[in-house]
Chain A
Amino acid sequence: MIAQGEVLARDTAVLWRRSAGTLLLKRRDCPAIIYLDETALALWEELDRPRTVEELALRLGDRYSAPADVVLADLLPVVDELERRRLVNRRHA
């Protein structure tokens, strides 16, 4: 589970496209296409540059007019899934 203050970034080996509210991703070293829902798409779009998970929660909260702490709770499992699939990686700030 990602910790406070850690920075999240898109993995550089990932190609992606958006299609009708769905996020399509493909790692260069893997033939499979992964598709994720609108929440993951919104998160991915906010990762246009590396950000801490708190910053992501604030930005998504603004985007969807939701409290940052509620967004953060929803975000963490999505981040874990993206990391498990090697689509994002983390580093210390």
Chain B
Amino acid sequence: MSPASLVRSVAAHGLPGASCDWPDKPMDNLTWEQLFTAVRQQRLAGLLVACVADGALPATPAQRQQASQLHFDRSCGVLQLESAALSAVDTLEAADIGVRILKGSATANLDYTDPALRLFVDVDLLVRSRDIDAAMDLLVRSGHSRHAIQPRRGFDRRFGKGATLTSDAGQELDLHRTFVMGPFGLRIVLDDLWAGSSSFTLGGRKVQALDPECRFLHACYHTALGDLRPRLVPQRDIAQMLLFGQLDLQRVDGLMRSWRAEPVVARAVRMTWESFGLSDATALSTWAQRYRATPRELSDLAVYTDPASSSYTAMSVAALGALPSLRDKAAFASALVLPRRGFVPDDGLPHGGRWRRAAQTALARVRQRP
């Protein structure tokens, strides 16, 4: 029973049909420490304490105490983050900027019977494209600092995923206008994210999140595209929503096709079912198993998932292909080739360098098209 198998079992705890691999007695200290490290890295403290409390994972008193302490510490962090999220929401809504709380707090409160099971380490907020510059300015004036400037004014509003800020108390806040950067983020029909909403109460205040179908799709984007080594928490979110939620699968299908997100959803759901060894098939999991991405889709996925292919340059060139008009392509490429002073792309290369040459090549291709 490896630590990898144990941590997957922790992440899958409570899912019907999950293949969980539990020891029949408490682990030795070395194995426990390996599991504990993995749980900490994967942010699964909530599910770890549940496994121990439910008797699924035998533990010594010391191991039980260690798990409880980790959950306590992380839960304190969650309260600080929710307080920060409410302050940011207050700031934006006072200026008539619509906002949705994404992932973390929204998923914990809306998709889990006990929010204590689902921990998170940052705040994610969504605003409309037209509001992102104003939202950014307001948050900076209220004490947040922005990690990186946009290549040119207007880039965030037209092309970007958003930006990361840090509050004066040190909490990270990701302000989004779409789910991910690059081609799959650009293809999302952003008006769809504002067509409906779910609400929940936080600190006595009603706040808004995405509707269930958009929350599910966001979890798919996060799983399939969010990290080179996919995390278990968004996979658990997918399983939680599909197996316990009340998703309108017809709407999920419609949105997915409209956004050309089939390869994203298929990868995410297939990965989730494989990670947790889920035996319960749903219509969507059956479809995901059978889905075969086209070469173009595989190429677009690779800029997010393949270490050899993923770079800011590759992401930018792939994004060009997703932009609808030549005017957009030219504006996008120009912003990256000739950004304003101080802009540094996410791969850390300064003004000039490999990414710039690739963007210049891409811009030349755009200009050559009849």
> What is the interface of chain A, defined by CB distance below 8 A to chain B?
10-20, 22, 24-26, 28, 31, 33, 35
Assess A15 versus B83: contact at CB under 8 Å? Given A20-B49, A31-B169. Answer: yes
Q: A22-B72, A24-B72, A33-B80 are in contact. Are A17 and B115 (CB under 8 A)?
A: yes
| Interface majority SS (helix, strand, loop, mixed), chain A | strand
Once bound together, how far apart are the Cα atoms of A31 and B205, in whole Å?
18
Using an 8 Å CB-CB cutoff, how does the interface string of B101-136 with A read, 1 for contact, 0 for none? 000000000000011100000000000000000000
Q: Contacts A12-B204, A12-B205, A18-B116 given: A28-B72 contact, CB under 8 Å?
A: no
Query: B49 contacts A28, CB within 8 Å?
Result: no
Contact partners of B205 in chain A: CB under 8 A:
12
Rounded to whole angstroms, the CA-CA distance of A93 and B169 in the bound complex is 40
Q: Is B44 an interface residue (CB 8 A)?
A: no
A35 vs B72: C-alpha distance when bound (angstroms): 10
Whether B309 sits at the interface, judged by CB under 8 Å, is no
Tell me if B's interface is mostly helix, strand, loop or mixed: helix
Smallest CB–CB gap between B66 and chain A, Å? 11
Count B-side interface residues using an 8 Å CB cutoff: 22
Cβ A16 vs Cβ B79 within 8 A: yes
B82 at the interface (CB under 8 A from A): yes
Q: A19-B68, A19-B71 are in contact. Are A12 and B203 (CB under 8 A)?
A: yes
**Which residues of A sit under 8 angstroms from B80, Cβ to Cβ?**
26, 31, 33
List B contacts of A33 (CB < 8 A): 76, 79-80
> Shortest Cβ distance from A40 into chain B, in angstroms?
15
B75 in contact (CB, < 8 A): yes
Is B149's beta carbon under 8 Å from chain A?
no
Give the residues in chain B near A20, CB-CB below 8 Å.
Answer: 49, 53, 68, 71-72
